[in-house]
Amino acid sequence: MARTVDSPAHRPREIPVTQDVPDRRLGRLAGRIAVIGGAGSVGPGWGNGRATAVVFAREGATVHLADRDEEALEVTARQIRDEGGSAHTAVLDVTEPAAVRDYFARCESLAGRIDVLVNNVGGSRPGGAVDLGLEDWDSQLRTNLTSAFLACKYVVPIMRRGGGGSIVNTASASGLRWTGAAQVGYAAAKAAVIQLSRVSAVEYAPDGIRVNTVVPGQLHTPMVEARLAGQRAGGDVARLLAQRQARIPLGFMGDGRDTAYAALFLACDEARFVTGTEIVVDGGMTARCD
């Protein structure tokens, strides 16, 4: 079940000021109600969900934030509130159907509508078809695909009642290309997220609901230090960063802010004629032939 968070149980981790999100405040989401899943972060810095939450709040949205990590969620919310923004938080397992259904019902009850949904939950496990266990395969599909499906399932009726909305699903370049490591469960799930968005975009277009996908490439997010370096480089963060950067034609790695600004475009009225498509945020990596 989702659990509303009124105050942090302990002091949250700080976001390094050196990794600040540019404070543009153009008001592109002024008055909008946005729900962002996976709005915490696995470590200090700008994960995709945290950056998206802060950017959306700075653009005028009232943000409803969900994550299974209460401490990380509260860091994000405090950043927004300290800047004068409005954030509501709930601890939520996005793979539990009843919890997701009840969460969206509470959001609608509190706000009256939902204008924007960003599905940002995800995480990878290493292993190809032979090495990945069946339990891990099932877990990868639940975390990366079923979470997006459930959120779409329960938000679409709310958006219909409100006259439309924008859904932004987060996939991965791994759903498009081999990105340097066998992670078949993650890759298959993220490829399916892209098609989930396309099918939903066509079906719900008559309701004024746009559905698109942001496809991040190999970004330098807190996930690198927290998990990926241990999985792929024996804990050597510098070596993993060098390997990832070598694949990027632009010669540098983006971070969660780049994902956030792509999601912002798809969420706001500037993208009123954009649905059923993807924005690939990867520095040109998936355009390479090697």
Mean pLDDT of 113-132: 96
Residue count (the chain): 290
Residue 13 domain flag: no
Burial status of residue 269 (CB atoms within 10 A of its CB: 0-12, 13-18, 19 or more): exposed
Q: Assess whether 186 carries a catalytic annotation.
A: yes
> What digits encode the pLDDT tens for the residues 113-122?
999 999 999 9
Is 10 a member of any domain?
A: no
Burial of residue 210 (CB within 10 Å: 0-12, 13-18, 19+) is buried
Phi, psi of 112 (to 5 degrees): 90, -15
Q: Is residue 129 part of a domain?
A: yes
Is 107 inside a domain boundary?
yes
218 with 240: CB under 8 angstroms? Answer: no
User: Which of helix, strand or coil describes residue 77?
Assistant: helix
What's the order of all strands across the beta sheet hosting 33-37?
A: 3-4, 87-91, 62-67, 33-37, 116-119, 165-170, 209-216, 278-281
Distance, CA of 166 to CA of 185 (rounded, Å): 27
Q: Which of the pair, 234 or 6, is modelled with greater confidence? A: 234
Q: Residues 51-102: pLDDT tens digits?
A: 999 999 999 999 999 999 999 999 999 999 999 999 999 999 999 999 999 9
Task: Show the domain range for 38.
Answer: 24-285
What value does the CA radius of gyration of the chain take, rounded to a whole number of Å? 18
Q: Which is more confidently placed, 214 or 238?
A: 214
Q: With respect to residue 19, please indicate whether it lies within any of the assigned structural domains.
A: no
- Residue 228 pLDDT > 70: no
Q: For all residues of the chain together, what is the average pLDDT?
A: 89
- Average of pLDDT values for 34-41? 95
Mean pLDDT calculated for residue range 104-112? 98
Look-up of token digits 């976001």: 15
Q: Which of 103, 154, 186, 261 is catalytic?
A: 186
> For residue 88, is it within any domain?
yes
Portion of the chain with pLDDT greater than 70, in percent: 88
3-class state of residue 66 by DSSP: strand
Q: In the chain, how many domains are there?
A: 1
- Which one, of 264, 256, 173, lies nearest residue 212 by Cα? 264
User: Rounded distance, CA 155 to CA 22, Å?
Assistant: 30
The domain spanning residue 168 has which CATH number? 3.40.50.720
Give a yes or no: residue 272 inside a domain: yes
More confident residue, 56 or 240: 56
Residue 17, domain member (yes or no): no
